[in-house]
Structure 1
Amino acid sequence: MTALAVACGQDAAGCLLVAAAVLTGQLSVGWSNDAVDAARDRAVGRRTKPVVAGSVGVGAVRGAAVTAVALCVPLSLAYGPLAGTVHLVGVAAAWAYNFGLKATALSWLPYAVGFAALPSFVSLGLEGRPWPPWWIVASAALLGVGAHLANVLPDIGDDLATGVRGWPQRLGPARARLLLPVPLVTATALLAFARPGALDSAGAVAVSIALVLAAGGALLGRRRPRLPFLAAIIVAAVDVAMLLRQGAAVT
């Protein structure tokens, strides 16, 4: 998001605010997730989690999450009242996911809102406070839905064992894995083809790469459960590269 702010012509102070606001927001989301899920993570033996491994206490993680979100609020609003409010809506959606929406059929919604809020946050802090084009917001939301499917896919069994029945868990591993390429590739296609102007070869190449990666990750994910998530990260990188390449198109 900081790179996007630079590409859009934001000044140095604005870029620093974007970096600080998004960083504190994401730290608050990650830490609150670890604090809320500590008991479930222990129950399924997720030793890669620092709380489960005993590297840090739940109280410390909870305090860090509260501190991060307390910093995120003024940093976001300092970038602009409307922009800051949009960013805080995205952060609040992620916290709502951590505190219960993850176990409902609407578990995809916080991801869609949170991802869509990010380019909107950057754009609304620019001179004139322009909203980003619809295809950028829609692409970001779809990327969020894909990230949700990819992130949850390896842990569906553990989630069901601890009572978490979100949208991917209700779909089941097979259907979630096969559905995963749809939002990822659609997000890339929107960035490549929805903007005005002549089509270029770079967009077609990006969509082809996204299709191969997302579909390949989904097909091979049955044997390697972490592969779809890795594929989703690479597709996200392709999308970010396209967004940076478009630069001022965000405005």
Structure 2
Amino acid sequence: MTLLAIGAGHRGWAILGVFLAVGATQLSVGWVNDWLDADRDRRAGRRDKPVASGAVSRRTVGTAGLIASLAIPFLGLPFGLWPAILISLVGIFALLYDWPLKSTVFSVVPYLVAFGLLPAFVVVALPGHPAPPVWLVAAGALLGGGAHFANVLPDLADDAETGVRGLPHVLGATGSSIAAAVLLLAATLTLVFGPAGPPSWAGWAAACASVVVLPLGWYAMTRASGRAVAMFRAVIVVALIDVLLLIFSGRVV
């Protein structure tokens, strides 16, 4: 989002302001998640989690999550009322994923909304508060939805053992791989063909790469007796393509 802000025209203190405001949403959702899931992470043996491993207390992480959450609207206010509201909504929907939506079939909704609002915040925070292009908001939402399914894939087994049943768990590894691929491909096409004017050569290359990589990942998965790792890697490649397209889309906002 900071690189998108630079491409969109933010300068000076505003670049740091975007970095801090968006960063606060990430710290908020991450710390609150670890506070809520401390017992579940211990049962799952998540030694990569500081609370579960005993590196930091649950109370400390919970307090840090509360401070980060309360800081979000204040960090958005220097840009004006509407940017502050947008970045606050990002934080609210991120926290709604932590609880209670993560364990429901609506688990993808916070990702769709929050990721769509993030680029909207970057654009509305510009001087004069211009309206964000619809294609940019849609691309952010699609990228967020795809990221949700891709992000959960490695943790499906651990989540199932501890009672987490979000939409990816309902669809399973294959269904989640397909959902991630479709959403990320849609994000790619939106970022390439959404802006006014003909797509650049880089845009065409990105679209072609996504169209080729995803079927190859699917084919490799079917040849590997249903193992989802090949499809997961293909999805990650397309996600990286989408992130690069999103960053450079600031130039055409």
Partner of 1:14: 14
Amino acid at match of 2:27: L
Does 1:90 pair with 2:93?
Answer: no
Amino acid at match of 1:62: G
Deviations 1:169-228 (A, max 9, x none): 111122112222100011011110122212332212111223344445555565464972
User: Contact 2:177 / 2:228 at 8 angstroms: preserved in 1?
Assistant: no
Partner of 1:116: 116
Partner of 2:179: 179
More moved, 239-248 vs 147-156? 239-248
Correspondences of 1:224-239 after superposition (within 5 Å) = 225=229, 228=232, 231-239=234-242
Partner of 1:153: 153
- Give 1:241 deviation, angstroms: 2.5
- Give 1:231 deviation, angstroms: 4.7
- Give 1:61 deviation, angstroms: 0.7
Percentage of matched positions with identical amino acids: 41
Task: Work out the CA distance in 1 between the residues paired with 2:84 and 2:153.
Answer: 32
Task: Work out the CA distance in 2 between the residues paired with 1:219 and 1:90.
Answer: 36
Correspondences of 1:25-44 after superposition (within 5 Å) = 25-44=25-44
Correspondences of 1:181-200 after superposition (within 5 Å) = 181-200=181-200
Q: Which runs of 5+ in 1 are unaligned?
A: none
Amino acid at match of 2:147: A
User: Contact 2:20 / 2:75 at 8 angstroms: preserved in 1?
Assistant: yes
More moved, 153-162 vs 138-147? 153-162
- CA gap of 1:219–1:148, structure 2 versus 1, over 3 A, is farther
Task: Work out the CA distance in 2 between the residues paired with 1:35 and 1:59.
Answer: 8
> Aligned to 2:129, what secondary structure does the other structure show?
coil
More moved, 218-227 vs 152-161? 218-227
Deviations 1:83-123 (A, max 9, x none): 11111111110101101101111100000111111100000
User: Contact 1:24 / 1:69 at 8 angstroms: preserved in 2?
Assistant: yes
User: Contact 1:153 / 1:225 at 8 angstroms: preserved in 2?
Assistant: no
- Give 1:37 deviation, angstroms: 0.8
> Aligned to 2:126, what secondary structure does the other structure show?
coil
More moved, 211-220 vs 86-95? 211-220
More moved, 174-183 vs 104-113? 174-183
User: Contact 1:180 / 1:214 at 8 angstroms: preserved in 2?
Assistant: no
- Give 1:34 deviation, angstroms: 0.8
Task: Work out the CA distance in 1 between the residues paired with 2:168 and 2:251.
Answer: 36
Task: Work out the CA distance in 2 between the residues paired with 1:214 and 1:55.
Answer: 39
Task: Work out the CA distance in 1 between the residues paired with 2:30 and 2:218.
Answer: 25
Partner of 2:76: 76
- Give 1:236 deviation, angstroms: 3.4
Counting matched residue pairs gives: 249
User: Contact 1:178 / 1:219 at 8 angstroms: preserved in 2?
Assistant: no
Task: Work out the CA distance in 2 between the residues paired with 1:186 and 1:88.
Answer: 27
Task: Work out the CA distance in 2 between the residues paired with 1:79 and 1:231.
Answer: 38
Task: Work out the CA distance in 2 between the residues paired with 1:81 and 1:49.
Answer: 36
Task: Work out the CA distance in 2 between the residues paired with 1:134 and 1:54.
Answer: 45
User: Contact 1:185 / 1:210 at 8 angstroms: preserved in 2?
Assistant: yes
Task: Work out the CA distance in 1 between the residues paired with 2:230 and 2:115.
Answer: 21
Q: Which runs of 5+ in 2 are unaligned?
A: none
Give me the CA root mean square deviation.
2.0
Amino acid at match of 2:50: P
